[in-house]
Structure 1
Amino acid sequence: MPAGSGKRATLQMVADAAGVSLPTASKVLNGRGDVAEATRTRVEGVLRKYGYVPQNGRRTIAPARVVDLVFDDLVSPYSLELLRGITDAGAESGVDVVVGRVPVADDGPLTPEDSWAQRLKSSGREGLIVVTSELSLAQVEGFARAGLALVVIDPLNLPRVEVTSVGATNWNGGVSATEHLLGLGHRRIAFAGGPVGASCGQARLHGYRAALENAGLTPDPELVLHGAFEYPDGLEMGTRLLELENPPTAVFAASDATALGVMEAARRKGLRVPEDLSVVGFDDTMLAALTTPGLTTVRQPLQDMGRVALRTLLRLAAGETLDSHHVELATNLVERGSTAPIA
């Protein structure tokens, strides 16, 4: 019954036209979160088309839909790229995104699992996206008990297989970075990795090792170091590698920030990149193209990962069943000026 026809539409008419039940149409009208996104969009379109007005004569103002997004590091280029993708997807879906850091108690550990979950639930959150942070099994179970949807991006650990996560093809990325350096003639290739327990970093390390072994090379343990995915750790690892009696001619760093630290370590040693040392990063954040020389790096589609995480979270909040608990988006190597054939 389109607006202007002279007859007042009922909610049952709206439900019939949208092909949903009356309770579902009522949920959409009242801003409930437990409705699939496609269904919500369809019902809202019919409500507008019919010019539906509730029996009390006033249109119901649906409460804002809100999700929480927490980082372990809010200021890194990696986090900013993900943030853009998540907030863009939120705007497209009519969802507000509240950004913060993983809560920490005064004595250091994360706040009690149920306290965090219940606080979010009582605030009306539909769910939570956690980026590159470590979650305990108790915390994950706390979110489940509270009925909160949870999606993690590049988790440092996976407490259990049922945790829904979004990442990239880290193993393939590690292979492509190392094969690129091998193709340039490098044979003494170091790995400046992330935290030992980080699943994404371990996948990149395994890709590095696989590429070396496929080339008939035995990975040298002294060329494999671990640290945080941060510039100071890259500087420290780069310094240690370049002070070896037989230093590497190339370094595959597990993040762009780490790679920039390695490049600074080379500069302080009086070495030129790429003439004396080739460096490959991982992420392809905005800094990769701004450094001199430009950083050759494995591109993660970070903004796309953010969009997928937000949309997956909304599907979980609506009670939909996912085909897979883990989604991996493809990586690809971006060649710039920080790598060159071995001299």
Structure 2
Amino acid sequence: MVANRPNGQGKPSLAEVAKMTGVSISTVSKVANGGANVSDATRERVEHALKERGYVTPRKRRGSTTPVTVLARDMYSPYTLDVLRGAIDAAETSQLDVTVAVYPDDARDLRWIDELHAAGRRGVIAITSTLDDAERARFAAHRIPLVVIDPLSNPEEDTYSIGATNWAGGVSATEHLTELGHRRIAILSGYPEAMASRARLSGFLAGLAAAGVEPDPELELPGDFTFDSGLELGEKVLARDPRPTAVVTASDSQALGVLEAARRAGLRVPADLSVIGFDDLIMAQMSSPPLTTVRQPLDLMGAAAVETLAALLAGSTPRSHHTELATRLVVRSSTGPVAMG
């Protein structure tokens, strides 16, 4: 759209603007009409020249986008929201149009996959997927590529997945505690069938072995990743005699449950009990005391899933079927030296 030039002058020719800005007439035309394939620096320079001379340029047009869906287990978990933030940010530069859906109550009815296909969804990213063989086969039949973030079970060889170094995270959490002098350490390991839980438990045991500590099976408690699980199992493990001096958990939500169990038992954290979480969600910084935790780069995991899906949709082969991003221990106030005496 073009406005009149100030002072009653006619609009400048494209050739005039091209000469002023040092670009071709066709480039000026693209910018004036909102066209694509112009660098940001050039577009800014030409738009400035046009606006100085009375042009009102349309908004920059985006190229065509590909519709994809991110499947989440719920829309309440800070874990899910952190992953989604990274995925949506990455989609802006990957030309993917992302919609979010929640796993259906009855996933055994495969029509929900047919409906995604009928709606034109070209690819799917599944967060903490429990998709079975039949569901994966239905996606394959519709030629809908699938990328799984933090799969609960071991992914198939031909499945693309994004995860974190859960084993290394379990090791770093345990080493931190043994270096503080803790020897009687409990672990709330999460779902026994979850691949991440098994890896974290394995890392925990490796950390104990490295410190010469014999594991106590009575201090290994499976459950789930929720606050309620952490509270229930925390109360159970803190009733042991002798009780543990530290607890490693499979999630920040579980760790918050353990903090509440400690409060109810009259224990001070970290003076009487050290607690470590896993994820580094926003609530880990806001707890009392702030939570030492193993950070998963959840936003980067979401972005990596988008980049992998974009590569598949473009017909190229991603560098790896299974990508693990590095975890790191974030030390805050919920861990401290073991109490003496």
User: Is the shorter-chain TM-score for this pair beyond 0.5, marking a shared fold?
Assistant: yes
Q: Secondary structure at the match of 1:128?
A: strand
Partner of 1:224: 220
Change (3 A) 1:211 1:223: same
| Gaps in structure 1 of 5+ consecutive residues | 10-42, 50-59
1:135·1:159 contact (CA, 8 Å) conserved in 2?
Answer: no
> 2:155 and 2:308 mapped to 1: Cα distance?
19
**Per-residue deviation, 1:112:** 3.1
> 1:315 and 1:62 mapped to 2: Cα distance?
17
| Gaps in structure 2 of 5+ consecutive residues | 1-22, 43-60
* 1:29-68 correspondence to structure 2 within 5 Å: 45=37, 64-68=65-69
Q: Secondary structure at the match of 1:78?
A: helix
The one-letter code matched in structure 1 to 2:302 is G
The one-letter code matched in structure 2 to 1:45 is N
> 1:160 and 1:190 mapped to 2: Cα distance?
32
1:153·1:167 contact (CA, 8 Å) conserved in 2?
Answer: yes
Q: Secondary structure at the match of 2:201?
A: helix
Partner of 2:252: 256
The one-letter code matched in structure 2 to 1:4 is I
* 1:154-169 correspondence to structure 2 within 5 Å: 154-169=150-165
Partner of 1:111: 108
TM-score normalized by structure 2? 0.81
The one-letter code matched in structure 2 to 1:123 is A
**Per-residue deviation, 1:244:** 1.3
Partner of 2:199: 203
Deviation string 1:39-80 (CA, Å, 9 cap, x unpaired) is: xxxx9527999xxxxxxxxxx997642211111132111111
> 1:216 and 1:82 mapped to 2: Cα distance?
37
2:94·2:306 contact (CA, 8 Å) conserved in 1?
Answer: no
Question: 2:84 matched to 1:83?
Answer: yes
> 1:47 and 1:294 mapped to 2: Cα distance?
45
Partner of 1:69: 70
Q: CA RMSD in A?
A: 2.4
> 1:47 and 1:118 mapped to 2: Cα distance?
40
Change (3 A) 1:86 1:61: closer
* 1:296-307 correspondence to structure 2 within 5 Å: 296-307=292-303
Which of 261, 266, 282 matches 1:265?
261
The one-letter code matched in structure 1 to 2:119 is S
Of 178-187 and 65-74, more deviation after overlay is shown by 65-74
Structure 1 or 2, whichever has the larger Rg, is: 2
> 1:174 and 1:139 mapped to 2: Cα distance?
32
> 2:215 and 2:303 mapped to 1: Cα distance?
37
Which of 270, 280, 284 matches 2:276?
280
Q: Secondary structure at the match of 1:205?
A: helix
> 1:300 and 1:47 mapped to 2: Cα distance?
35
Change (3 A) 1:224 1:160: same
> 1:3 and 1:150 mapped to 2: Cα distance?
43
Partner of 1:123: 119
Q: Secondary structure at the match of 1:125?
A: coil
Q: Secondary structure at the match of 2:100?
A: strand
Partner of 1:96: 97
Query: When the two structures are aligned, how many residues end up with a matched partner?
Result: 293
Which of 173, 187, 192 matches 1:177?
173
**Per-residue deviation, 1:136:** 0.5
**Per-residue deviation, 1:118:** 2.2
**Per-residue deviation, 1:337:** 0.1
Partner of 1:38: none
TM-score normalized by structure 1? 0.80
> 2:191 and 2:291 mapped to 1: Cα distance?
22
Change (3 A) 1:170 1:5: closer
> 1:3 and 1:66 mapped to 2: Cα distance?
34
The one-letter code matched in structure 2 to 1:120 is L
The one-letter code matched in structure 2 to 1:73 is D
Q: Secondary structure at the match of 1:45?
A: coil
Partner of 1:57: none
